Structure 1
Amino acid sequence: MLTKLNQGLFYFFILLLPWQTILILKEVEINNEKFQYGTIGIYLFEIILLIWVLSNILVLKNYSDKKILFSILSFASFSALSILWSDDKLLSFYFLFPLLLGSFLFLILQKKVLIFKNITFAFIFSASLHGILGLYQFLSQNSFSNKWLGLSEHIAWQGGSSVIEVSTGRFLRAYGAMPHPNILGGLLLITILLGIGAYLKTSSFEKKWRYFLIATITINFFSLLSTFSRSSFLALSFGLILFFAYNVYNNKKYQIKALLMFLGVFFIIGFIFFSSFSELLMGRMQANSRLERKSVNERNLLIHQAQKIIVKNPIIGIGIGNYTYVLLKNNPDIKKIWLFQPVHNVYLLIFAELGAIGFSLFLFIVIFMIYNFIESFKKEDSNRVIFSVITVSLLLIALFDHWLWTTHFGVIAFWLLISFSREKDLTHA
C-alpha cells in the first residue's frame, strides 16, 4: 500500500512538473517594471517533489556507486558553499533549492523500480496540454492568464512579449504555460523524442498506446513549429539523427521504418506550416528583421558581459543565482530592464556563477552523461537509449539558452532525465 502511494506521488509530480503554478514570496521591481530574475517563490511541483524526496531519503544509506555519489554531491556542495561569497544570499538559496532537490531526485531514483509506460504517459499527457495551448495562442494570436495554472497573458503589441516582426505586423510566438517560447520548445523537444522512443519499443499489439503516441507527437511537432525556437529545432534534428544512428548500427529494421514514417509526418506538417506562414519562418530563420538583429546584438552583449564577470571572478565565481544581480550592481545607469538577463549559454553561466572549480565539477557530470549515452548504445538498453538521446540533445540546447540552469523546471527536468539515462530498473509494463 505504501509503495503504491509512493509511486503515485511520484507520477503526480511528473504530471505537475511542466506547470508553473507558484506561490510568490518576493517580487522585485526596477523602474516600475517586474524583474523576473529577482522573483522568489516555490512551485507546486517542488512541494510534491520535496515530500517524495523526504519520504525516500533513507534509501541512500547504502549507496553503492561511490563515484556518482561523490560527483553529484561535490557539485551540489560547492554550489551551496558559493552562498558564502554571493552578494544576494537569499537569491542564491532560491536557485540552490531546485539543484539540491534535483540532486537527491537523481540519487534516489537509482534505487527505485518504476514503470516506463506510466512515466512516459504522465509526462507526455501533461506536456501535450502545453502543446495544445501553444497552438491556440499562436493560431488565435491570443493568450490569457490563470494564476492557478501559472499562466501569464502575452500580447503581441506589448514590449517584452516574444514575437516575430514582419512587414504585415507583429506575431505572437507560442508560449504554452511557460515563461518563454524557447522553454516551451525545449519541453516539446523532450516530449517528441520521448514519444518517438516509446513508440519504437512498443509492441504492435498495444494499438491504443501507439495511437496516443502518434497523435501527441503530431500535435507537439506542430506546436514546436509555432514556438519558432531555433535551438529546439536544431536539438530535435540532432536527437533524430542519434535515434537513426542507434537503430542503423544495431540493424533494427522495424524501428528504422518507424523513424522514416515520423520523418514523413514531420515533412508534411512542415510543408503545411511553411505554406501558411512562410514569411514568419523566413523572417525568423534569416534573422534580418529589426527584432531579429536586435536579438543577435543583445546575445553578443550578454556574452561580453559574461566574459567580464568570469575574468573578474575566475576561480570561485560570484555565487549561484547571482548573475543578474551582479549585472544590476555593475550597471546602475542602464534603465532598460530587459538588458539584465542571463547569458544564453548554460556553460558560460555556470562558469560565471561558480568559477573554474564549479564549472570543472559540472563537466564531470557532462562527461558522465556522454558516457551513459555511449554505454547505452553498446548494451542496446532501449530505455537508457531514449533518455540518453534526450539528455545529449539538451546539452546542445544549453549552448544557446539558459533555462536549463535558471528555471526550476529546467533544473529538475535535467536531473530527472539523466537519472533515467542511467536507471536500470525501469520496467515497461
Structure 2
Amino acid sequence: MAMIVDAFAGKLVGRLGNVIEEKAIMVLGVKDELQRLRRRMETLARVLKDAERRRIQDEAVKGWVEELKDVMYDAEDIIDLCMIQGMGLLQDDDHHTNQLAESSAAALTRVPCCNFPLFSCVRSVPFRYEIADKIKSLNDRLSEISDDKDKFNFIISSKSISDDAYVMNEASYHQSSFLPESDIVGRDIIDATNSLVELLVSQHQQTCRLFAIVGMGGIGKTTLAQLIYNDSKINDDFVLHSWICVSKFYTSMTDLLKELIRNVGGTCGEATTTAELQKILCDVLDGKSLFLVLDDVWDADVWIDLIKNPVERTTTKCRVMVTTREWNTARKMGAIDIHNVNKLPLNFAWELLCKKVFTNNDESEIQRMKDIGMQIVEKCDGLPDAIKVIAGVLITKDQKLKENGRMFLTVMLGLLQVFQKSFKEHYT
C-alpha cells in the first residue's frame, strides 16, 4: 500500500519552490542549495509515472523508487529544519532590533549585502554550514539515483512537474499515506484504528459508505487515517486504494479528479472538463471495489458534486474515509459513523516528544530533560503536530545550551511563542 510517489514528488517540488523565497530561508543563506535540490527533484519526477507502473513487477525498479522515497522524506525534514531555524533567528532579530531601537547604532545593524540584521547573519553561520551540508548530501544522493535511473530506460514525461495537478502551495501541502512508526503513541489510537477497520471491512452491503474522522487541526486525524489506510485488512478487502489530500486551498476540481484517476490506475488523456474526467473515472472503477481517503476536507461539495456519483454508480463496494475539522462537513457528506479525535494526554505527549528527540533511547538523558520537556509539552496543548515541530528544534539545539536548564527552557518557550501564530494559522 505504497503512497503515490509521483504525487508526493510533485508536492515536494512545489513546496521547495514556495519556501525558497521565505524570509526564514533567506536568513539562513541556503537558497541556492535548495534551488539545486528542487531542480534535481523536478528532473527525477519526470520519470516517476513510468517507474511506479513498472515497480510492481520489477524488483530493481522497486528498489530504485524506495531509495528515492527515502531521499524525499529527508528533503521534507530539511525543509522543516530550515523553517524552524530561520524562524528562531528572525525572532532573535526582533529582540535585538528592539533593544537597539533607541540607539543610533541601530542604523549600523543592517548588512547591506543581505538586507538582514548583523546579529542574524552572524548567528546563522553555524546553522547555515550544518544545513547546507545536509542539503549537499541530499543532492549527492539524488545525483547517484539519477545516474542509476539511466539503466532502466524510463519513459520521460514531456509535461513539467510544476504544471501537474498535484503541485500545491506550502499551506495546502500535507503528508500522504506514509507514516513513521515513531508518530504512534498510546493505546487509544491503536484501539481506534482496529475499531474503524472492523467497521470498514465487516459491512458487506454492496453500497458506498462514508466514515469520518473529526477533530481540531494538528490533533492527529491524518495519522489515524494513515494507520487505517495501511492496515492489511484494508489492503486485502479492496482492489483499488486512493489517498487524496484535499485541503481548503485545493482550488481546481478537475485537478483533483485527475489525481484520483491516476491513483486508481487510469490515464486522463486529453480530457479537461469535469464531465469528461468523471466518465473516465467511471470506466476505471467499473466493477471494482475501492477504499478512498479524502484528507483534510473543508467543503463537502468536493464529495457531493465531484466524486460521489461516479463512485456510487460503478463500484461493487466502496468505503470512503474523510478527515475534517467540522462535524457539519462530515454530516453534510453523509457520514454514517463519525470518530472524534481527542488531544494527547500529557504522558503520551511526553512519550511522543521522547520518540522524536531521543532516538538512541538514552534513559539518563531522557530523565535529565524530563522536567523541562514536560513544561514544553504542556505548552503544546496535546497537539501531536506541535510536539513534532518542537522536537525538530530540540534535536538541533547545542548540548551546552541543553545542560543550562533555565536558559534552555527560556529559549524553547520563546520559540513556542513564535510557533503559536503559525499553529493558529494552519490548525484552526
Q: Could you tell me the TM-score, scaled by structure 2's length?
A: 0.29
Asked which structure has the greater CA Rg, the reply is: 2
Give the TM-score of the pair, scaled to structure 1: 0.29
Higher helix share: 1
